[in-house]
Amino acid sequence: MIKIKKATQKDIQGLSKLLLALLENKNSQLYQDNVSKFGIPEDYVNNAFARETMLKAAATGKTTFYLALDGNEIAGFAQVTLQDGCIAELDRIIVFPQYARQGVGTQLLHEAIADHKQKGAKTLIVNAGKEEAHARRFYEKNVFKQINEKLIDTPWGKKLTLVTYQLHINQ
Ligand SMILES: CC(C)(COP(=O)(O)OP(=O)(O)OC[C@H]1O[C@@H](n2cnc3c(N)ncnc32)[C@H](O)[C@@H]1OP(=O)(O)O)[C@@H](O)C(=O)NCCC(=O)NCCS
């Protein structure tokens, strides 16, 4: 059975280590889904998932990491940041391929929503690549509504069309 927990500093260190180890396999689905598909350079990925980067985000007190655990094994995680006002942003949600399509992503999302309701957030937003059919299907199934579409210059120098979804979590 999958359990969701808020990550401690120690959990975040373990998550970073796992992500960096898994992403060393350039043929893995995880690497294809999250890195090569977007043409993200290796340095950027290594920096995004570095222990220091993740701990620094958590240390702001605004960013929370949620882990989906199958016993001691990490099945996936979500990262949510409470922004100014009443808006929270789902920065990232990843379910590892062997746990895909078993409701783990939905469980992570529900926990993040419940937690941010308590924190007073009224809206959860998320950006997805326009071409990311699976992720978009996931958000739409979870009744997010598309509110915007924009072409952005990514930090790694490519153009990317993003769609923004919004979910009201507290009326
Ligand atoms: C998107 C993601 C987090 C979904 O996690 P998940 O645990 O597999 O999702 P769930 O099992 O909770 O699925 C809920 C619904 O989302 C949709 N969905 C999820 N994965 C899908 C897929 N591969 N293809 C089509 N629809 C999908 C379905 O509607 C599904 O409901 P159903 O199984 O009853 O049809 C996961 O596929 C993932 O990690 N993808 C790679 C990373 C990514 O794109 N993250 C989002 C952007 S940061």
Q: How many domains does the chain have?
A: 1
Percentage with pLDDT > 90 across the chain: 86
Residue 171 has pLDDT above 80, yes or no: no
The ligand 1 site (C-beta within 6 Å) comprises 33-34, 92-95, 100-106, 128, 132, 134-135, 137-138, 141
Residue closest by Cα to atom 24 of ligand 1: 134
Q: What's the whole-number average pLDDT of the chain?
A: 95
Domain that holds residue 44: 2-168
- Give the tens place of pLDDT for each residue, 14-70: 999 999 999 999 999 889 888 888 888 888 999 999 999 999 999 999 999 999 999
Could you tell me the distance, in angstroms and rounded to a whole number, from the CA of residue 133 to the centre of ligand 1?
9
Give me the pLDDT at residue 39, please: 85
Rounded (5°) CA angle 61-63-67: 120
Per-residue pLDDT averaged across 80-99, rounded?
95
Residue closest by Cα to atom 33 of ligand 1: 101
Q: What is the pTM of this model?
A: 0.96
Pocket test for ligand 1, best of 19, 31, 134 (most atoms within 8 A of CB): 134
The enclosing domain of 137 has a CATH number of: 3.40.630.30
Percentage with pLDDT > 70 across the chain: 99
Per-residue pLDDT averaged across 131-144, rounded?
96
- Write 148-153 long-range contacts (CB < 8 A, 24+): none
Give me the pLDDT at residue 33, please: 85
